[in-house]
């Protein structure tokens, strides 16, 4: 690891000020960042450790309007075990949190850190490879190389997948996020956190340099809201999803009145599937309907040489998520 300046801020304002300095990286739990620094994949001059701001930035609260406010530094364990997530509307978010990594990681890792994760692409993450991502080379090496864990949807010049478990259920719940950049406080739709055009040159998220996520806001859900999150893996202990699906449904009188379906681990960003969601609205749940929705969720997919299995398995995961949401 290259030497760097380590900033331990006493307040959010101090952190914001320190993070304005060039070649600075913000650190939450540091679960992944420290590894990348050890390997010299990243060599910042300054690290701003956000963990001392836990008093301000950690914890889950239910606001007066019923909205859930999740502090950016809340650990995954805190989130999973918070009583507010016991409601069926939040099943998907709770399950996604609980199946992330390992208990040790969840006790340490933060909500914002999970959402803002760097790609797990094995070409991008090795200094030996010079690929398009990050401007290190002329082409995406995974596109024509070993790509069993890469994208089948929504990719253009880079086939990395977005690794966050929390992003799909938060998108499905119409969440928003707050940030602070210098003195500027902003609150936006969760979808704006991810690049609309997820090309190699665009990072995994749309934050500006020095912009700090402070909280995630999940709106109060209407009565009859159900949600689910399912993912496929190659093993059950500590693995990344090969495909994932988060759904949120509102059921009234046995009829689906609203639906959000979001795919994870199959595209460079967590991917809302509006057409598939639309098929659900106004319908009664049935195996036939869910099979049709699963097909639509993967409509237009372009699998690579080694990952067409993701289509078969991904559709099964969509069906499973829908089944679990209406169970």
Partner 1 sequence: MSHEHKPALDGVEIKMGYRSLGDHLAPGDANAPGGQAVPGLADRFETRTVQPTAGDAPPWDANTKFTTVGTDVDRVDGLAKATGRAKYSYDMTFPGLLHAMVLRSKVAKGKLTGLELEEAKSMPGIAAVIALKDLGAKVRFVGDGLAAVAGQNLNLVRDAIEKIRAQLEVEEHNVDYVVADNAPALSATGEVEDDWPENAEITTALAEAAVTHNATYRVEVQTHSSLETHGGVAKWTGNDLDIWLSTQATFGCRGELARALQGKGIDAGSVTLHAEFVGGGFGSKLTAGVEGLAVCLLAHAAKAPVKLMLDRFEEHTTTGNRPGALMQARAGVDAKGKIIAWDWRSFGHCGFSGNGGSVAVPNYYTADAKVRRDHKDLAADTDPPRPMRAPGHPQGWFGAELFLDELAAKAGIDPLEFRLQNDREMIRQDQWRFAAHKFGWAAGRARQNEPGARFVMGVGLSSARWGQLGNPGRPPHGITCRIHQDGTVESRSGAQDIGVGTKTVMAMLTAEELGIEPRLVKATTGHTSDPSGPASGGSTLTPSIAPAVRHAALLAKQQLVELVAKHLGVPTADVVCKGGKIGAGQGQLAWEQACKLIGPNPIDVRGQRFANYDGKPFHGSQCGVQMAEVKIDTWTGLVQVTRMFGIQDCGLVIAKKLAESQVLGAMIQGVSYALHEQRIMDKRSGRMLNGDFLRYKITGSQDLPQLECHLHSIANGHDSVGAAGLGEPPSVASAAAIANAVFHALGAPVRHLPMTPDKVHRALAARKG
Contacts with partner 1 by CB under 8 A lie at 1-3, 40, 120, 122-123, 126, 128-129, 141, 145-146, 148-149, 232-240, 242, 309, 312-313, 316-317, 319-320
- Minimal distance, residue 129 CB to partner 1, in Å: 7
Output 186 or 327, the one with its CB closest to partner 1: 327
Q: Which is nearer to partner 1, 70 or 132 (CB)?
A: 132
Q: Which of 220, 228, 277, 224 is nearest to 93 (CA)?
A: 228
Tell the smallest beta-carbon distance from residue 220 to partner 1 (Å).
33
Instruction: Measure CA 322 to chain center.
Output: 20
Q: Which is nearer to partner 1, 234 or 274 (CB)?
A: 234
Minimum distance from residue 126 beta carbon to partner 1 (Å): 7
* Structure-token pair, residue 43: 């060599």
Quote the least distance from Cβ 201 to partner 1, whole Å: 23
Minimum Å gap between C-beta 303 and partner 1 is: 11
Q: Count other Cβ atoms within 10 Å, centred on residue 186.
A: 12
- Closer residue to partner 1 (CB): 150 or 226: 150
- Asked if 270 contacts 171 with a C-beta cutoff of 8 angstroms, the reply is yes
- Under 8 Å CB-to-CB from 272, ≥6 apart: which residues? 171, 172, 191, 260, 261, 262
Instruction: Determine contact, residues 245/230, Cβ cutoff 8 Å.
Output: yes
Residue 309: CB minimum distance to partner 1, A: 4
40 or 186: CB nearest partner 1:
40
Decide whether 82 or 150 has the Cβ nearer to partner 1. 150
Distances (CA, A) of 2 to 35, 44, 51, 193: 12, 8, 21, 30
CB of 179 to partner 1, least distance (A): 29
Q: CA-CA distances (angstroms) from residue 128 to 161, 204, 227?
A: 20, 21, 42
**CB contact set of 83 (below 8 Å; sequence gap of 6+):** none
Tokens 């169970």 sit on residue: 327
Give the C-alpha distances (Å, rounded to integers) separating 146 from 123, 136, 198, 231, 314.
9, 18, 20, 22, 19
Nearer to partner 1, 62 or 129 (CB): 129
């Amino acid at each position: 690891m290259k030497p760097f300046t380590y900033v331990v801020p006493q307040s959010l304002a101090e952190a914001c000020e320190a993070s304005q300095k060039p070649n600075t990286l913000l650190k939450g739990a540091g679960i992944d960042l420290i590894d990348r620094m050890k390997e010299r994949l990243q060599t910042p001059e300054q690290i701003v450790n956000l963990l001392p701001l836990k008093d301000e930035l950690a914890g889950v609260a239910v606001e007066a309007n019923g909205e859930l406010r999740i502090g950016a530094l809340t650990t995954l364990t805190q989130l999973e075990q918070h009583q507010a997530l016991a409601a069926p509307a939040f099943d998907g978010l709770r399950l996604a949190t609980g199946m992330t990594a390992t208990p040790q990681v969840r006790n340490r890792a933060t909500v914002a850190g999970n959402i803002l994760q760097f790609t797990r692409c094995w070409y991008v993450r090795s200094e030996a490879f010079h690929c398009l991502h990050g401007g290190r080379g002329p082409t995406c090496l995974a596109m024509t190389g070993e790509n069993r864990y890469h994208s089948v949807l929504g990719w253009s010049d880079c086939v990395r997948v977005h690794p966050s478990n929390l992003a799909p259920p938060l998108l499905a719940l119409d969440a928003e996020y707050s940030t602070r950049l210098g003195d500027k406080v902003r609150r936006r739709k969760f979808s704006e956190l991810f690049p609309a055009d997820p090309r190699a040159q665009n990072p995994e998220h749309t934050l500006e340099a020095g912009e700090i996520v402070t909280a995630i806001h999940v709106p109060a859900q209407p009565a009859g809201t159900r949600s689910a999150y399912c993912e496929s893996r190659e093993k059950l202990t500590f693995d990344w999803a090969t495909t994932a699906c988060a759904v949120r449904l509102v059921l009234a009188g046995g009829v689906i009145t609203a639906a959000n379906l979001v795919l994870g681990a199959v595209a460079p960003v967590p991917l809302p599937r509006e057409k598939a969601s639309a098929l659900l609205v106004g319908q009664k749940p049935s195996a036939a309907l869910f099979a049709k929705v699963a097909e639509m969720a993967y409509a237009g997919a372009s699998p690579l040489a080694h990952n067409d299995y993701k289509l078969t398995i991904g559709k099964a995961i969509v069906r499973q998520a829908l089944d679990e949401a209406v169970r």
